[in-house]
Amino acid sequence: MVEDAQKGIPVSDMLRDSFGRLHTYLRISLSERCNLRCQYCMPADGVELTPSPDLLSKDEIVRLANLFVNCGVNKIRLTGGEPTIRRDLDEICLQLSEMKGLKTLAITTNGLTLARKLPKLKESGLTAVNISLDTLVPAKFEFMTRRRGHEKVIESINAAVELGYDPVKVNCVVMRGFNDDEICDFVELTREKPINIRFIEFMPFDGNVWNVKKLVPYSEMMETVVKKYSDLERFKNDPFDTAKNFRIKGHRGTVSFITSMTEHFCASCNRLRILADGNLKVCLFGSAEVSLRDPMRSGADDSELMDIIGRAVKTKKAAHAGMFDIANTANRPMIRIGG
């Protein structure tokens, strides 16, 4: 263990890559399954899911998370598929939240069943909520997700606000010809409530039929917002924040832009991912993965797992490829990576 000079916290060299980036943020996918079929996430003909016995168990998730937290990770985000479909989600949250050194336990969810589950999740230590919603029009929601449930997602956003989550983050993937005409409608959600609208550039993954013509770049989104909200003011980001954050005078909430395609933030990336099948992925857009499940099930001790993780982290590249190269690179569908 060494001490990070900037933060003054003990961290393991396992979490530092060859470019000096310290990885203190771990995203854990709890499931490859989902109760929606979003077009930009799941291929139209579905995906071949990993058999249940090959997915990480609760105990395996907790063991790996504890290893990462002991080495310096202070933020964990639970993703999917859809994490709320795991029956043991409450227990996972409770055990993770009790880990010494973990400051933030977050979830990214489609919000379909969150409203009724959130009180118990909050009791179990969940400290932050991201809810995905790409349209405020129910008919367009059904078209994009291939399912009904728009009103349930809105209910979950309101439930999170009422339970005191501040901010409640709402992720919106902006796609030309689908929801780019709703940008200012989403911004209006921030007027009275502590909602952080996060506009995300459309990203290519296997099976989502990515096309640059569907991409609405950050510069264009900003232009749309500024035309209506001229007092948009940027505020200081956390050094590791993926978003460009803004506030509008008189609005309780905030507006953010995630610019993965046109202005990447690789130089400050501090994220690692454990997929539902136990593979470690050091870059969202990279195809390289290494299994932690297999050595763990073969009897590897913590020091051996740390060695595997450390070697994988050291292979992380300085930056991901450009968007056209990403579109032509084999990768998993987003549902099998985790949001």
pLDDT in tens, 27-43: 999 999 888 877 766 66
For residues 255 and 2, which has the higher predicted lDDT (pLDDT)? 255
Task: List all residues 6 or more positions away from 103 whose beta carbon is below 8 Å from its beta carbon.
Answer: 74, 75
Write down the pLDDT at residue 18: 92
Distances (CA, A) of 275 to 64, 157, 174, 290, 315: 12, 26, 25, 10, 18
Write down the pLDDT at residue 339: 58
Tell whether omega for the bond before 51 is within 30 degrees of 0, i.e. cis.
Answer: no
Q: What are phi and psi of 246, to 5 degrees?
A: -140, 150
pLDDT surpasses 90 at 115: yes
Q: Span 8-15, mean pLDDT?
A: 70
Q: Residue 215 forms beta bridges with which residues? A: 175
Provide the phi-psi class of 239: left if phi over 0, else alpha when psi is between -120 and 50, else beta.
alpha
pLDDT surpasses 60 at 206: no
| CA dihedral sign, ordered 118, 119, 125, 129 | positive
Residues spanned by the domain of 225? 2-337
Token digits of residue 3: 């001490």
21 contacts 31 by C-beta, under 8 angstroms: no
Write down the pLDDT at residue 236: 81
pLDDT surpasses 90 at 318: no
Write down the pLDDT at residue 327: 46
User: From CA 90, how far away is CA 120, in angstroms rounded?
Assistant: 7
- Kindly report the average pLDDT of the chain as a whole number: 88
Write down the pLDDT at residue 6: 39
Token digits of residue 140: 């367009």
- Window from 14-28, 189-203, 229-243, 324-338 with minimum mean pLDDT: 324-338
Percent of the chain with pLDDT over 90: 71
- C-alpha 242: how far from chain center: 10
Task: List all residues 6 or more positions away from 200 whose beta carbon is below 8 Å from its beta carbon.
Answer: 171, 172, 173, 174, 258, 260
For residues 214 and 307, which has the higher predicted lDDT (pLDDT)? 307
- pLDDT per residue over 306-316, tens digit each? 999 999 999 99
End-to-end CA distance of the chain: 30
Other Cβ atoms within 10 Å of 270 Cβ, number? 20
339 contacts 285 by C-beta, under 8 angstroms: no
pTM comes to 0.90
User: From CA 197, how far away is CA 254, in angstroms rounded?
Assistant: 6
Nearest alpha carbon to residue 291 among 301, 281, 299: 281
User: From CA 312, how far away is CA 290, in angstroms rounded?
Assistant: 7
Token digits of residue 215: 């991409």
Q: Kindly indicate the confidence band of residue 12, based on its pLDDT and cuts at 50, 70 and 90.
A: confident
296 contacts 56 by C-beta, under 8 angstroms: no
Q: Kindly indicate the confidence band of residue 265, based on its pLDDT and cuts at 50, 70 and 90.
A: low
Number of domains in the chain: 1
pLDDT surpasses 50 at 189: yes
Write down the pLDDT at residue 7: 47
Q: Span 113-120, mean pLDDT?
A: 98
User: From CA 137, how far away is CA 151, in angstroms rounded?
Assistant: 10
For residue 295, the domain's CATH number is: 3.20.20.70
Q: Residue 274 forms beta bridges with which residues? A: 28, 280
pLDDT surpasses 60 at 325: no
Q: Strand 279-281 to strand 290-291: parallel, antiparallel, or no bridges (unpaired)?
A: antiparallel
Q: Kindly indicate the confidence band of residue 228, based on its pLDDT and cuts at 50, 70 and 90.
A: very high
User: From CA 31, how far away is CA 213, in angstroms rounded?
Assistant: 31
Write down the pLDDT at residue 2: 47
What is the chain's length? 339
Nearest alpha carbon to residue 223 among 250, 199, 241, 251: 199
Write down the pLDDT at residue 283: 86
pLDDT surpasses 80 at 335: no
Query: Across the chain, where does the E strand assignment appear?
Result: 2-3, 10-11, 25-29, 75-79, 104-109, 128-132, 168-174, 195-201, 232-234, 243-248, 254-258, 271-274, 279-281, 290-291
Helices (H) and strands (E) in the chain, counts: 11, 14
